[in-house]
Amino acid sequence: MLHDSDLVSIQEVRGKVERAWSAWTAYRSFSQEQVDAIVEAAAAAARAHSKRLAELAVEETGYGNAADKFAKNMLAAEILPQRMRGLRTRGILREDNGVVEFAEPVGVVAAILPTTNPTSTAIYKTLISLKAGNAIVLSPHPRARACSCETAALLASAAEQAGAPPGTVECVGNSTVEGTGELMRHPRTAVILSTGGSGIVRAAYTSGKPAFGVGPGNVPVLVDSSADVADAVAKIVEGKSFDYGTLCSAEQTLVAERSLRDAILAALKKSRAFLCDAAQTAALERTLIGRNFGIKPECVGQPAVKIAKMAGFEVPGDTPVLAVEIGGIGREHPLSAEKLSPVLSLYFVDSFSAALDACEAVLRFGGLGHTCGIHARDDARIREYAARMPAFRVVANTPTPKGSTGLTTNVFPAMTLGCGAVAGNSTSDNVSPMHLLNIKRLAYGVSVKNETKIDRTMIVAAVEKYLANRGVAPAQSAAAAPAPVPEPVIADFVCEDDVRRAIRDSRKIFIGPKTIVTPSARDTAGPHDTLVVVKK
């Protein structure tokens, strides 16, 4: 049953999609230079307010911390625009081998925002949409409306001051589930960028519109026997504690050979991680994991100290991560699931082969296609791991949340990380402006050469030579004598259709002084030398 708030949201969505569509009908004709100026202006505004927006996001949602949310905002507002500079998204993209490719923007982008990364995702989706020549309507998570709409307003104002038509960037201030559904199904909506839980992603894919959604992340990280253990563990703690574990690509389970256990535990202690005993581990399992192995909402993005207290025990105030040792992977071991918090599982095995099996099992327990990590100095093992894992971002020797999003690697900077067909996603890429435009191709015709005629005398000579080399004399028969050359048959009348059939069959038409040839037949035959004059 619809409530008044749903009706208000639906009506707002309809108005804002129409406004965005109207703006796009003008924006779609902007040049590359105009588009780039608008993107740069919007990005500059986002950079100028990134710190304040990060603070607003934490204050409104209660998830994560402002310092790390600022870093995520800057990924979208600074690193992403740097990467997009010089990228052609308007007009002719390239010409090669008789094919010319033109960029065609898709229209209105429906952008569904999460509660865990509300401002950085708004910046990212807006900038890639503008870069591709599209308008965008943002639908915030109901628990992150204020910070998302504030971000959108800053971007819209900067874009319009730089020349974008009013309405190119819109945000739904009264977002509800029903309103978001209306946005995804609206006839003017061209494509959906959906970030959030499995329900909203599934709704995007079943809306009848093209959609880019993401699957859940359950990220294994392998510490190989060739790794610098101290460096590897420090980076894993850095990644797992980043924004209190709110990124789906954060490390979830550290896997290593048992021979490294003591060194890894020592390195974790050096990094101030708290090693939980069996009773504390059991308490954390009860506190964190809810139905269907999902994390309980009240635990998402909370600091390690607070989560420990919720579980009934105390840890030092500077603890970045709670580490729990588990005895296996899968349904019987709930802490091997995604935890969206600074709780890191540890799983020790007897060999590298067993470690590969364990990491694959972690991915298959709720993280297929997303991200995995490895720390090693043996590049052959890194590549073996990458080839084996059913994940489309394999991050080596760097924190996985930062590496997967492009903060510490050269993958495309993104907050929407596709998980491919294995996870029911339409792409395995980090989504970029190139996913938000279509490519039109102009293809010039190419000449088709006539088939080479078979020379019978050459074949006979080749066969006789082959037989002679093996001591076989050619048979003496009338067949060996050259066949008489038949007299050409001179046509009485030649029309255009006769010429076209001759060209198709790769043959000549013989004409004499009395042959009647139509003008169109002569014109058609000219480039092909189809007509042969026989003088008698």
- HSE-up of residue 469 (Cα within 13 Å, Cβ side): 6
Dihedral sign, Cα of residue 206, residue 212, residue 216, residue 220: positive
Alpha-carbon torsion, ordered 347, 350, 355, 361, to 10 deg: -60
The one catalytic residue among 147, 171, 248, 372: 248
User: How long a stretch of residues is the chain?
Assistant: 536
- HSE-up of residue 496 (Cα within 13 Å, Cβ side): 4
User: Angle, nearest 10°, between helix axes 145-161 and 118-131?
Assistant: 30
**CB-CB neighbours of 165 under 10 Å:** 19
DSSP state of 291: G
- Please write down the long-range contacts of 187-191, taking CB distance under 8 Å and 24 or more positions apart: 188/17, 188/18, 188/20, 188/21, 188/107, 188/108, 189/17, 189/107, 189/108, 189/109, 189/110, 189/137, 190/106, 190/107, 190/108, 190/109, 190/134, 191/106, 191/107, 191/109, 191/110, 191/436
3-class DSSP assignment, residue 228: coil
How many Å apart are CA 384 and CA 388, to the nearest integer?
6
- Which ranges in 80-117 belong to alpha helices (H)? 80-84
Closest among 52, 85, 64, 78 to 154, alpha carbons compared: 52
Q: Are strands 322-325 and 343-349 parallel, antiparallel or unpaired?
A: parallel
Is 299 marked active-site?
Answer: no
How many Å apart are CA 366 and CA 247, to the nearest integer?
15
Task: Give the catalytic positions in this structure.
Answer: 248
